[in-house]
Structure formats: structure tokens, C-alpha cells
Structure 1
């Protein structure tokens, strides 16, 4: 499903709706938000409506740089990040799972870097995502 579970332009999702929509994965969402804020305390959290095709997503930004995208789905969510060359190199030489490395390697390189989205349906990639957030924030690049 490409589209957010929150599709109505006039209704910004609230925490109760989010918790209901994400079900058992809500705690992982909260973990990623808290970890990002801890590493980048001045970062801002905003909901963003990307049009009828995609619906609502949640972003954490540090100045103009988006650190993470959280994309709510039905009973799960996706986390999206974009990595510049230095961060990509750090990831490729890290202990992060080969699945994530392969996805990053296969991602098309754009001016802002390589973007990946990871579906969070269970705790499998939680530690890897926390490491990706560390790399993203500490690399200082998109």
C-alpha cells in the first residue's frame, strides 16, 4: 500500500488515531521518535500531507534537513531516510543487516543521496534502524 492510512487532507492524525492504526507497532514508532529527539533535541516534529496519492506522513526535521520520515500504514509503518555518500559508506561498512545494505545499494542516487524505506511490522529491524538514525544524525549529511 503506497498510501498512508490517514488520507483525509482536513484531518491531521492525533496520537490516539495513530496508536489505533499502528496497533502493536506503535511502540516502535515511539522508540524511533524518542531516539531521534534524544540525538537531535532541537529537531521539530510535523505531520505533512503529501496529496491524495500519499496522504499524511510524519517528519522529524533538524533545520531544513529531514532526519526521518514515518509513514503510517494499517497495522504497521514504514520509516524512510535519505543518506549522503559519507553516511552510505558508514552503513555499508557497519554491522547493519545485509537486507538493508542491499536495499540502500540498489536505491537510485539523487542529489540529496540514496533513500530507503523499511517496513516496520515486527521487531526484526529495530536495532538496525536505531543505528541508521545514529549514522544519519552524526554524519551531518542528508
Structure 2
């Protein structure tokens, strides 16, 4: 499944995002605000990853992406890439077993293991905040 924003020449606006995400828009904003609060130098940008994926939103420091926010129809996904140190920290944390299992099963790449988590409600809210903090600290 790809972004709800698929036209390379039309960068999404905040209003487009709010309309597309519906009730999950405030959750998106809270993750964006939380990341910027915990890493004030973070920069945010829309990125078009090609026809297959469409537009995604990245919050990053000067050399790596802290969190990807991937807009879908009335929901979104968060995505992270964790190196080994961060992966170990997650496995030792109180983050939900389902996220740990997904991380364990994720393919190991040079930059780490990548996971995506669907956000349709507040159920993973605290876990995502913990993942953001772990990503920032590693």
C-alpha cells in the first residue's frame, strides 16, 4: 500500500494531510511535536520516493532519519530503522511484544532493521514515543 499522496508535482499541504488522515491527524502531529521537543534541531521534510511509494514525511537530524511518517487513507504508518545497539535497547525495554517480534523478524540491512507500525488509534502511542526516544539516543 502506498501514500495517499502520489503526484510528484503536488507536495502535500497541512490541510491535505488533515483531510487525508482524518481522526488520526492529531496523533501524527503529536509524534511530530514529540520528536521535535526531544530533538529540537530536527528538520522535517516531505520526500517523494517514486511512483511506487508516493510522498512520505521525514523527521531527521543532520545525518539520519529519526522517524518516517507515511500517510495512508484515514490512518498512517510510522517507520524506523534501528541499528544493533538500539535494537538491543528495544528488546530489553517494556515496549510491546508485537513490536519486538516485528523488529526481530525484520531483515538486517547495513543501516539496521526497518519496521513499520500502523497507526489507526492511540493504542501504540506510548510505544512509538519510546521508539522515538531510543532512536534519538542512539
Give the TM-score normalised by structure 2.
0.98
Does residue 121 of structure 2 align to residue 122 of structure 1? yes
Q: 2:11 matched to which residue of 1?
A: 12
Q: 1:28 matched to which residue of 2?
A: 27
Gaps of 5+ in 2: none
* Superposed CA offset, 1:28-65 (max 9, x none): 10011001101111111000001111000000110021
SS at match of 1:47: strand
Q: 1:48 matched to which residue of 2?
A: 47
Taking the TM superposition and a 5 Å limit, the aligned residue runs for 1:84-99 are 84-99=83-98
Off by >3 Å, runs of 4+ in structure 1: none
Gaps of 5+ in 1: none
Kindly tell me the number of residue pairs found equivalent between the two proteins.
138
Distance 1:99 1:87 in 2: 17
